[in-house]
Structure 1
Amino acid sequence: MTDALLTPTRLWTPRRVMITKSAAELPHTAEIVRRCVAAGVSEIDVLPADRLTGLRGESERETYARAKSTLAVVVAPPSALKPQPIPPSADWRIDLAKGCPAHCQYCYLAGSLSGPPVTRVYANLDDVLAPIATHVGRGTITSGTAERGHEGTTFEMSCYTDPLGIEHVTGSLAAAISRVGAGEFGPGASLRFTTKFDDVTELVGLDHGGRTRVRLSVNARDIGNRFEGGTARMPARIAALRALAQAGYPVGVTIAPIMPVPGWREQYGELLADIAAALTDVPDVDLTAEIITHRFTPSSKDVLLSWYPATKLEMDEDARSAKRSKFGGVKYVYPKDTMAEMKRWFSEELRNVLPAAQLLYWT
């Protein structure tokens, strides 16, 4: 039995739903419309074509606000139906949607998504999930490895969205978890996603078969409160983590993006202690940890400053180290000494406070 869940602290409900012509007749669209109507959305429009229009305003801020309050129901293009390797998280990436309703001032998607930041949910869900069956047993991150082989072949669902943040108006996540949990794609398939939201009431009642790992994205108090707008607060996320663990899900914490803010040791220490306290009496918890430091690129910085011109987020190239990819791209990370200090501290604290947690990676 799980504890009684609190009323979710954060639900995103779009002001407008736009359905493209090609998506309109697909079976999953009917479920999306049903959920949107139940959530109180009154403006649901079927478009005469497949092009999304009317998202741009007279300014960047108006365009941002309009896009962030819109859910677009579209057909995933062929490029989105081919699973891509996604190290160090998982063997493969599959996308239920593209875009996120949250307002994180360090948004991971800034610079990687073109056009207004509208959230697009894919109506051709069968096509999106079908490649799971063909890719089971393939991969290099978990599939066949000594360290993580017990996870099976893993499929990451939160590269381009927060699937729980839109679940109450899409139903895509529950469908994926249930179908993989029932073994539809073979016994070796395993889903995973990370979220900053806390509405897990539907998820804890699913027959997930232990084949979906849910990770809660958590951070120091000051970082969450200042930079993660439109999301659930840390206590609510940790309560959701507990509920999922009680329901038998493999769970995890994605501590990201780590920043050496004033008092960071104390704040992250409190965070880890709160997680430990929430899980202390839950038997047989399967817990992982992933730790990601803050970084940015020149293009993401430009986008973020256009979205959040008054942000206090530190993005000073002179205070960072430039890290170049083999393709010539550059991202700015913390200096070597700072990275080493944070890595030492977190490694020791995890061992002391959450000894059962398997640290999957630090980056």
Structure 2
Amino acid sequence: MTTTAAPVASATTAPLIDVSRIYAEPAALDLPRGREIAARWPDAEIVPVESHWRIPELHGDEANVRRWVRIKREALVLGVKKTLTVRPNGRSADFIAPSTANGCAMACAYCYVPRRKGYSNPITVFTNIDRIAGALHRHVGKQGRKPEPNQCDPHDWVYDIGENSDCSADALVSDNVHDLVDVFTTLDTAKASFATKYVNRELLDWEPQGRTRIRFSLMPAAMAKLTDIRTTPVPERIAAIDDFVAAGYEVHVNFSPVIVAPGWQEEWRQLFRQLADGIGPAAKAQLACEVIMLTHNAALHEVNLGWHPKAEEVLWQPGLQEPKRSENGAINVRYRVSEKRVHLQQLLAILAEELPFCRVRYAF
């Protein structure tokens, strides 16, 4: 297994992660990865829990809204991943890999992850990484070679390894992500993929050998400052792209989420221009993107009113939105279909003007 340095400070003034309490399933601490993680914070209080899903003082406690960011910085959960299912996807990736973590140290106001466990939802790390990696290896082996190109990739099967977390931030906590990046260097028919809003330059010292795709999520800087709490500033994300391409990663971008607010088209045009000016020929030659319009949720709206009501002024717009049942059965809200189609076409037209070299893999 690989070894990384201790957590470092983010682009914000306070450390992204400064763990003082570790909630741990006993089985998670019994594994080598669990012991490695606990050793990184020797002064942290260890709190035994029966299940990473049921921690009353973290999940489902309405009072935690007032401590939203503090919990994300100071609490860490260790669990064992019991379900190792690889799920088909077909949008961003061909398959969704079993999670090595869920939750996040960052606090984007629109994030869907807090809807699952409730409230702050700090990082939960799964310490049975050997079993997760083994399940992935077996699944890739059964697929054979990709028979034809699709929107995910023209040659390889793509596995999203960060559906429920941000892998760049997860790599501050454990070696799980590094281990999976290494696994995919041994697989000539598949590549890993994850989206991130955090620039973790420790990843530049890894050797991905072109088998990991990082998707930097971007939005206009002013909107990101309002809604992308505790993330790396957008200009720094753009500035990192060339370095990650040079380090052997495939780098794509996510224009996500697209939030409709006064002046939004011009703000996106300026972002596209910043991206065009901020990356070099090598990055441009391999660049592709995803475009994702905002989806929100009534329960998350109520939670956000308790800690970040300013963001809800742009996220919660009943006059523009309608209910939507997501693939997992949850009832969310999205922009009305007819208006969403118009907004999406407007954005794609601006994108084609400003970034003609950027292929759109999918947009919805």
Task: Give the shorter-chain TM-score range.
Answer: 0.7 to 0.9
Q: Which runs of 5+ in 2 are unaligned?
A: 1-8
Deviations 1:255-314 (A, max 9, x none): 111012222122111111111122234367422200110122334434444553454333
SS of 1:173's partner is helix
Partner of 1:4: none
Does 2:90 align with 1:87? yes
Q: How does 1:168-247 map to 2 (within 5 A)?
A: 168-181=172-185, 183=186, 186-199=187-200, 201-247=201-247
Question: How far is 1:138 from its partner?
Answer: 6.5
After superposition, the Cα gap between the structure-2 partners of 1:189 and 1:230, relative to the gap in structure 1 and judged at 3 Å, is same
SS of 2:130's partner is helix
Matches of 1:358 and 1:113, distance apart in 2: 36
Q: Is the 8 A contact 2:239 2:279 kept in 1?
A: no
My pick for the range that moved more, 300-309 or 187-196, is 300-309
Partner of 1:354: 355
User: Of residues 55, 58, 64 in structure 2, which corresponds to 1:55?
Assistant: 58
AA of the residue aligned to 2:35:
A
User: Of residues 104, 122, 126 in structure 1, which corresponds to 2:130?
Assistant: 126
Question: How far is 1:144 from its partner?
Answer: 3.2
Q: Is the 8 A contact 1:320 1:334 kept in 2?
A: yes
Question: How far is 1:65 from its partner?
Answer: 4.7
Matches of 1:321 and 1:54, distance apart in 2: 33
AA of the residue aligned to 1:173:
V
Q: Is the 8 A contact 2:119 2:303 kept in 1?
A: no
After superposition, the Cα gap between the structure-2 partners of 1:73 and 1:328, relative to the gap in structure 1 and judged at 3 Å, is closer
AA of the residue aligned to 1:104:
C
My pick for the range that moved more, 202-211 or 59-68, is 59-68
TM-score normalised to structure 2 length: 0.84
After superposition, the Cα gap between the structure-2 partners of 1:118 and 1:326, relative to the gap in structure 1 and judged at 3 Å, is closer
SS of 2:181's partner is helix
Q: How does 1:255-266 map to 2 (within 5 A)?
A: 255-266=255-266
Greater share of helix:
2
My pick for the range that moved more, 291-300 or 218-227, is 291-300
Share of identical aligned residues, percent? 23
CA RMSD of aligned residues (A): 2.8
Partner of 2:5: none
Matches of 2:120 and 2:224, distance apart in 1: 24
SS of 1:290's partner is strand
SS of 1:72's partner is strand
My pick for the range that moved more, 338-347 or 91-100, is 338-347
User: Of residues 51, 54, 72 in structure 1, which corresponds to 2:77?
Assistant: 72
AA of the residue aligned to 1:349:
I
Q: Is the 8 A contact 1:227 1:313 kept in 2?
A: no
Q: Is the 8 A contact 2:294 2:334 kept in 1?
A: yes
Paired residue total: 345
Partner of 1:296: 296
Matches of 1:197 and 1:208, distance apart in 2: 18
Q: Is the 8 A contact 1:110 1:303 kept in 2?
A: no
After superposition, the Cα gap between the structure-2 partners of 1:117 and 1:283, relative to the gap in structure 1 and judged at 3 Å, is closer
Question: How far is 1:198 from its partner?
Answer: 0.9
Q: Is the 8 A contact 2:184 2:211 kept in 1?
A: yes
Q: Is the 8 A contact 1:17 1:73 kept in 2?
A: no
Does 2:105 align with 1:101? yes
Deviations 1:186-208 (A, max 9, x none): 32121000111011x22122111
Question: How far is 1:146 from its partner?
Answer: 2.3
Matches of 2:232 and 2:332, distance apart in 1: 28
Question: How far is 1:326 from its partner?
Answer: 8.3
After superposition, the Cα gap between the structure-2 partners of 1:26 and 1:327, relative to the gap in structure 1 and judged at 3 Å, is closer
AA of the residue aligned to 2:86:
P
AA of the residue aligned to 1:295:
T
SS of 2:131's partner is helix
Partner of 1:21: 26
TM-score normalised to structure 1 length: 0.84
Q: Is the 8 A contact 1:255 1:290 kept in 2?
A: yes
AA of the residue aligned to 1:85:
P
User: Of residues 112, 133, 136 in structure 1, which corresponds to 2:116?
Assistant: 112
SS of 1:178's partner is helix
Matches of 2:347 and 2:120, distance apart in 1: 37
Question: How far is 1:353 from its partner?
Answer: 2.7
After superposition, the Cα gap between the structure-2 partners of 1:137 and 1:144, relative to the gap in structure 1 and judged at 3 Å, is farther
After superposition, the Cα gap between the structure-2 partners of 1:33 and 1:239, relative to the gap in structure 1 and judged at 3 Å, is farther
Question: How far is 1:234 from its partner?
Answer: 0.5
AA of the residue aligned to 1:88:
R
AA of the residue aligned to 1:75:
V
AA of the residue aligned to 1:344:
Q
Q: Which runs of 5+ in 1 are unaligned?
A: 1-6
Matches of 2:242 and 2:283, distance apart in 1: 11
Q: Is the 8 A contact 1:138 1:153 kept in 2?
A: no
Question: How far is 1:324 from its partner?
Answer: 4.4
AA of the residue aligned to 2:282:
V
Q: Is the 8 A contact 1:55 1:63 kept in 2?
A: no
Partner of 1:9: 11
